[in-house]
Chains A and B, each alone.
Chain A
Amino acid sequence: MSVPTTATALAEVDDLVVTRRTDGEPVLDGVSLTLRAGEVLAMVGRSGSGKTTLALSLLGRVREGLTPRSGTVRVAGLDPFTSEGRSRVRRRLVGFLGQDPASALNPARRLGSTLHEAAALTAPRGRGAAGRAERERRVRAALTEMDLPTDPGFLRRYPHQVSGGQAQRVALAVATIGEPRLLVLDEPTSGLDPSLAEDLAARLSARHRRAGGAMLLVSHDRLLTETLADRTLGIEGGRLGPPRRPAPSRRPPPRRRAEPASSGAPLLELAHLRATHGRHVAVEGVSLTVAAGGCTALVGPSGAGKSTVARCLLGLHGSWSGELRLAGSALPTDFRRRTGEQRRALQLVAQDSVGALNPRESVRGALLRPLAASGNGSEEEAARLLERVGLSPALLGRLPHDLSGGERQRVNLARALAARPRVLLCDEVTSALDGETRDAVLELLRELRHAQGLGVLLITHDWEVRATADQVVTLVDGRMVDAEREAAEDGASR
């Protein structure tokens, strides 16, 4: 059975059912969808509702552990599930940006070579010098569009040498460089600060529409969907429906004043941090404190050095100097010289949620290990932790790659909490979460702060997340920008 293709329908999904292989649970449950040329369709839904699964099906891809049961998919009249269809669809028709762009860049290849290859693959068959010059031009254009440096030095870097947001933008550049007729973007701006995201989105859509391309945008960032999308579809439990919430306002929500949790002595004090990446000074002169039961937000544009600060605090960064105190006693800069107690006291939820999970360890194992170390290694405790971060205990038996992006991020969070830290460092912990889930997570953090005096350092781009902090430290280019004033502006100073 197939639906006749109309001239304007670029992509059609008809009654697609995708189930889990193990238990036959549907992940997509009879999804039908038409995407016309030039249309931007936003897809919103809770974490784990099937957005990524649907997006991937347009490329003829079903992740291992899932199997397509029935239904058809057509892109420009081609079936991406057949091998000829697949190669044409992927090569020429569809540009795709995955949810974890950082892990989509080959760590053994330089950024430049990945970009050049993408340009060459999609270029009109120009060979020789002319072709090369054309490719270079396109790469430069793509980088400029993404607000990335275009110098050869940057292109010569490896993925692990750029920040999470930069990696995401490189991946976005790779996806868009060939100007495909259909762009499928899965959380394209999760690692970017809002102003940059908005800016980028505007540029992207302007160009894209000009060229008459269609776009499927999966994002929980209402700002973004609102700016870009012609139409927004909600997805819930694998079924399409109208968006659950009416489109919210364009403006950032009023910043809630966070109730100062406790005014005791700072739990974590950092002073005069200086960190380098080789010869390049990534961060300099950063000082911050996290109070017991308090929450400090570390914000700043992508590439400012936020993740670097977090890694320094944890003692993971190789070359840094500065003073670090935990509850008044000094912490060695290198984690190897910290005691087990000291290590457990600081926990990080890393920005790259894929890399931080052992691909061969089930969720259960990942949670039980820190739980056992902190003295309560029972399965119930693990299940309870999962529930607290809004996940079903059924996930305990799963491996990381059987999880959706948001689920992975929350497993990471649960694991960090399982170690019963005194200070929790969250690096973009809500970037892949829809508003509802994010609020639940923030609520959990708040609760822990109050109940256990947990100190939280939040690295975030999200205004709403930032608003929960009682202190804000802003980094620009590795330096602090008048934290006091920012804080005062936020009305969050103590």
Chain B
Amino acid sequence: MVFGATELLPGDAVSAVAGPSATEAERAAVRERLGLDRDPVTRYLEWAGGALRGDLGTGYTGGRSVTELIADRLPNSLLLAGLALAVALPASVALGLLAGARAGRRADRAVSTGVLLVAGLPEFVLAALLLWLLAARTGLLPQVSLVPLGGTPLDAPEILVLPVLTLAVSGVAVGTRLVRSASAEVAASPWVEAARLRGITGPRLAARHVLPGALAPAAQALGLMTGALVGGAVVVETVFGYPGIGLELQQAVAHRDIPLVQGIALVLCAVTLATVLLADVAARALDPRRGSPR
């Protein structure tokens, strides 16, 4: 599917490689070199075969192996998404529970409205805002995520703060709402009512009584959110110049580097699919009633 989709992208790498002023002969030569003169079915079979073997072909620009290239970038993105998740997950669970367990009360209104306000800002505005607040005005943090040459982002943790924060904040906004709606429902159930009548209140009520019931539905949605984090970092990575897979995808699309687009899309799909499946499994494990309908 990824292959088919990218095939449909108008234009081809020929112009990107050969340059706008190339002659027809030059273009034909490039086309032949890239193997674009053969029919799509053959190319698909080759590509799919290669993909199965872990070989995603060679990028048009620069001619590096796509697999190698993704291996360069993916860890950075995973790190970013992982850190963002590590911040966003507990925060959205905590906030979502706080709001959901007291649905309709003042705490809920405050959290929900606040979360909505943040969620209401497009990601690049949020990024710009954080940038302005934490970096440009105060100079506390670097504005651009320049990874030390030859090192990993972890060698300069300060460059991770802003991208992670941006991703996490928008993740929290979505996550909180999902957890809230799940836990509000549970909070209204007779068993939570019974727990209240036993004098259980506050964090204990939320964590021990509301959460277990809310986790299963929330896990589903949070799984999707995770997938979106990995792939959706395009904007954040562009704004901060963070060398991740999202930035790479954007550039590859702009350069019509089809093998690279295909490779990245495939890897993104795989990562997202994995998280979604994981979430499904988690949801199943967390819901005792699954599989044994009453």
Contact = CB atoms under 8 A, between A and B. Distances in A.
Residue from the set B197, B215, B287 with the largest chain A CB neighbour count within 10 Å: B197
Residue from the set B192, B195, B201 with the largest chain A CB neighbour count within 10 Å: B195
Interface string B205-223: 0001100110110000000
Query: Which 10 pairs from chain A and chain B are nearest by CB?
Result: A91-B199, A90-B199, A104-B194, A108-B212, A158-B288, A103-B190, A106-B191, A108-B213, A96-B197, A59-B197
Contact of B192 (A106, A158, A175): A106
Contact of B198 (A100, A103, A108, A121): A121
A457 B245 CA distance: 66
B190 A100 contact: yes
Nearest to B195: A106
A244 B294 CA distance: 40
Given A107-B288, A175-B198, A318-B293, 15 more contacts: A88-B199, A90-B199, A98-B194, A103-B191, A106-B209, A106-B212, A107-B213, A108-B213, A108-B215, A108-B286, A121-B198, A121-B200, A158-B289, A160-B292, A318-B292
A92 B194 contact: no
A174 B189 CA distance: 18
Contacts of B197: 56, 59, 61, 90, 96, 98
Interface string A49-89: 00000001001010000000000000000000000000111
Contacts of A354: 190
B222 to A, nearest CB: 17
Interface string B257-291: 00000000000000000000000000000111100
Contacts, number: 74
Interface string A339-366: 0000000000000001100000000000
19 contacts: A87-B201, A90-B196, A90-B198, A92-B199, A96-B198, A98-B190, A104-B190, A105-B191, A106-B195, A107-B213, A108-B212, A108-B213, A108-B215, A109-B208, A109-B209, A109-B212, A117-B200, A158-B288, A318-B293
Contacts of B195: 106
Contacts of B212: 106, 108-109
Contacts of B191: 103-107
Nearest to B190: A103
Interface residues of B, number: 26
Given A98-B190, A98-B194, A160-B294, A107 B289 contact: yes
Interface in A307-341: 316, 318
* Interface size class of chain A, counting residues whose CB lies under 8 Å from the partner chain: 20 to 34
Contacts of A105: 191, 194
A318 B293 CA distance: 8
A354 B201 CA distance: 24
A86 to B, nearest CB: 8
Contacts of A87: 199, 201
Contacts of A59: 197
Contacts of B190: 98, 100, 103-104, 354
Contacts of B216: 108
A118 interface: yes
Interface of A: 56, 59, 61, 87-92, 95-96, 98, 100, 103-109, 113, 117-118, 121, 158, 160, 171, 174-175, 316, 318, 354-355
A118 B292 contact: no
A66 B194 CA distance: 18
A171 B190 CA distance: 13
A96 B198 CA distance: 7
Contact of B289 (A56, A160, A318): A160
Contacts of B194: 96, 98, 104-105, 171
Contacts of A98: 190, 194, 197
B293 to A, nearest CB: 8
Contacts of A103: 189-191
Nearest to A89: B199
A175 B215 CA distance: 26
Contacts of A158: 288-289
Contacts of A90: 196-199
A90 B286 CA distance: 29
B207 to A, nearest CB: 11
A106 B186 CA distance: 10
A108 B201 contact: no
Contacts of B198: 90-91, 95-96, 118, 121, 174-175
Contacts of A118: 198
A108 B287 contact: yes
Nearest to B191: A106
B213 to A, nearest CB: 4
Contacts of A108: 212-213, 215-216, 286-288
A399 to B, nearest CB: 13
Interface in B110-153: none
Contacts of B294: 160, 316, 355
A113 B196 CA distance: 16
